[in-house]
Amino acid sequence: MEPRTPSEMLAEIKAETQLGEIGLAKRLGVSQPTVNRILRGQPNCSSKALLAIQRVHAEVMAEKAAA
């Protein structure tokens, strides 16, 4: 089942890449506090952050499938 929420997608990215919040923030192009809020499940995710999460999630899942 595909993750549906930004929090679920970000948690999956974190698990697959083993990046910390700062590394995730850099990869997504957002701040570390933004990553923290999303991981904690706060519902107010900006469109910029959502698009970045979707893009990176697709990249990470493609890398996983290719391995």
pLDDT tens-place string over residues 2-60 = 668 999 999 999 999 999 999 999 999 999 999 999 999 987 889 999 999 999 999 99
Class of domain 6-66: mainly alpha
Does the pTM surpass 0.75? The reply is yes
Q: 1: pLDDT confidence band, cut at 50, 70 and 90?
A: low
Longest Cα separation, the chain:
34
* Integer CA distances (angstroms), 62 to 16, 32, 40, in order: 11, 25, 25
Helix/strand/coil percentages in the chain, nearest 5: 70, 0, 30
Residue spans of the domains in the chain: they are 6-66
Residue in 5, 4, 6, 2 with CA at minimum distance from that of residue 28: 6
